[in-house]
Amino acid sequence: MASATEVAVSLRDVSKSYGPVKVLNIPALELARGQIAAVVGENGAGKSTLMGVLSGTVTPTTGSIEIAGQPLHPGRPDHSRERGVALVAQEFPLVGQLSVAENLLLGRRPQRARSGPAGRVVFDRAGTRAEARALLAEVGVTSVDVNRPVERYPVPVRQMIEIAKAWGHRPVVLILDEPTSSLGPVEAERVLELARRHAAGGGAVLFIGHRLDEVRAIADRVVVLRSGKLVADLTPAEATEERMIREMVGSELARAKLAPPGSVERATVLAVRGLTADGLGPVDLDVRAGEIVGVAGLMGSGRSRLLHTVMGAQPRTGGEVAFEGRDFRPRHPADAVAAGVGLVPEDRKVQSLLPAHSVRWNVTLSTLRRISRRGVLWPGADKAHAAGIIDDLGVRLHSQEQLISDLSGGNQQKAVFGRWLAAQPKLLLLDEPTRGVDVGAKAEIYGLIDAAAERGMAVLVASSELEELMWICHRIVVMAHGRAVADVPRERFGKEAIMTAAAGTQPPVVVGEGKAGA
């Protein structure tokens, strides 16, 4: 056990209950300065509750917490910040309408004296911008306009902004909740290096992750939660992937045994030629019925832009798109949905879910017309339809009337999948389909994707996890700087070749029978 001067975090008899349900129960846990402790567990294991207790957003039912030897007042985020706790949350608490600079320095913007009445000060806008640029540079981000509103940046950039914001507090304890879930390999490694720098400087890091290879690469110890309880505290040598999974789920996890996709000789559902949009293009690609095509690339490569442009959420500036052999020009996502295209977006809470509504309402949104009679939704029809979707996908919940926001991340994502699979689109677009879900839910989602393709659905999936794409896809289209630079068939999958193409240092290449734009 660390000495008193070395202890960064100390928890004693900390628990949290909601009514009769105890969601967290930790008799004792300490984290030393200079240490990186990974916290792993299935969705609903208590990870978010633990982070909330430390950051002050959740008030524990019992117990005491100390930060660097000083008691922490429960349920007070301001006091947690004062004691030196900084949380990089999975769902970023950034103010979209404010600029990057204002978000980074929110609540502590530089001030300067102003001539006039004594004691009067004004915000130093130039100083705010300068300090914001310096903070971003510290975390390796140099291409962001600090005057631009945060909402105009994609999720990966917002992730790095949130990390820079936490870094700027110079915390004792840095909590990283799925910090690499939306990042490509290069950016993810940058975040891991920041965690190492913080620990090397005498700070402590709590790293919550579902990517077990990252956990093994960074952690000095691995704390495993299951059903709110601390069930294992592993050394790096003990924390094999098999051991972590066994401790998380309480048994051996049957790995997904998807049949390797074979050659697909079916009709072309989506044909893209010379597609361009803001920050995108030119892009050429085909997706056939029953085929799963992956889109790989580093942060900013255009993965999400490609899907949004096909969906009509971003206007195209050139090129042609054909859907089932016909010219396809959706002016709005509703046009794409009506034509038979579905999208599971990267940011489910902002772009897909209605958090203040029930699970029933969320899973039936895309099929209300189908289950209505002459435009009238008869009582009970949506409940029966929702029950079928929930059962088919194995969504774990107490009642279909509970708020969708009350479900774990994995179950929320399965609910979004269920909504679109029930609509039976001919083309399904998936943007980071397993972001923020645990290993068990990942295997289930991979099974859903595979089953959809077996039924003849065309699937285009963008992901920052290369291993994910190599596992589920027939082909992988590689993007760099907004362009499709390689099209790799399954028999030639290899991390080195794909990452070399994604780095954008090689000329465009076509590998195998797929097509890629030059």
Given this model, what pLDDT does residue 171 score? 94
End-to-end alpha-carbon separation of the chain, Å? Answer: 58
Q: What's the whole-number mean pLDDT along residues 296-325? A: 92
Q: Look at residue 472 and give its three-state secondary structure.
A: helix
The span from the CA of 168 to the CA of 211, in Å, is 26
Least confident of 9-23, 247-261, 330-344: 247-261
DSSP state of 214: H
Q: At what angle do helices 409-423 and 381-393 cross, to 10 degrees?
A: 120
Average pLDDT, the chain: 84
The span from the CA of 42 to the CA of 477, in Å, is 31
Q: How many CB atoms lie within 10 A of CB 6?
A: 17
pLDDT at 495 over 70: yes
Q: How many CB atoms lie within 10 A of CB 181?
A: 24
Q: Contact, 52 vs 26, CB < 8 A?
A: no
Only one residue has tokens 């628990």, namely 15
Given this model, what pLDDT does residue 374 score? 63
The span from the CA of 175 to the CA of 188, in Å, is 16
**Do you know the residue count of the chain?**
518
Going by C-alpha positions, the residue among 147, 211, 145 that lies closest to residue 178 is 211
pLDDT at 407 over 90: no
Given this model, what pLDDT does residue 467 score? 83
pLDDT at 115 over 60: no
pLDDT at 481 over 50: yes
The span from the CA of 110 to the CA of 98, in Å, is 16
Reported as a pLDDT band with limits 50, 70 and 90, residue 123 is: low
Cis peptide before 71 (omega within 30 of 0): no
Q: Contact, 166 vs 159, CB < 8 A?
A: no
Q: Contact, 223 vs 230, CB < 8 A?
A: yes
Q: Which domains does the chain have, with CATH numbers?
A: 7-112+125-249 (3.40.50.300), 268-503 (3.40.50.300)
In sequence order, what DSSP letters do the residues of 132-195 get, joined into one string?
HHHHHHHTT--S--TTSBGGGS-HHHHHHHHHHHHHTT--SEEEEESTTTT--HHHHHHHHHHH
| CA–CA distances in Å: residue 50 to residues 93, 207, 266 | 18, 12, 49
CA angle 427, 432, 436 (to 5 degrees): 135
Q: At what angle do helices 155-167 and 185-200 cross, to 10 degrees?
A: 10
The span from the CA of 341 to the CA of 506, in Å, is 33
Q: What's the whole-number mean pLDDT along residues 448-463? A: 92
The span from the CA of 52 to the CA of 46, in Å, is 10
The span from the CA of 145 to the CA of 384, in Å, is 49
Q: What's the whole-number mean pLDDT along residues 140-147? A: 88
Q: What's the whole-number mean pLDDT along residues 269-276? A: 96
In this structure, the strands spanning 204-208 and 36-40 are parallel
Least confident of 25-39, 119-133, 157-171: 119-133
Q: What's the whole-number mean pLDDT along residues 41-65? A: 90
Given this model, what pLDDT does residue 312 score? 94
Reported as a pLDDT band with limits 50, 70 and 90, residue 264 is: very low
CA angle 341, 397, 22 (to 5 degrees): 140
In this structure, the strands spanning 229-234 and 341-344 are unpaired
| Cβ-based neighbours of 108, under 8 Å, separated by 6 or more | none
The span from the CA of 121 to the CA of 285, in Å, is 57
Going by C-alpha positions, the residue among 480, 491, 483 that lies closest to residue 513 is 491
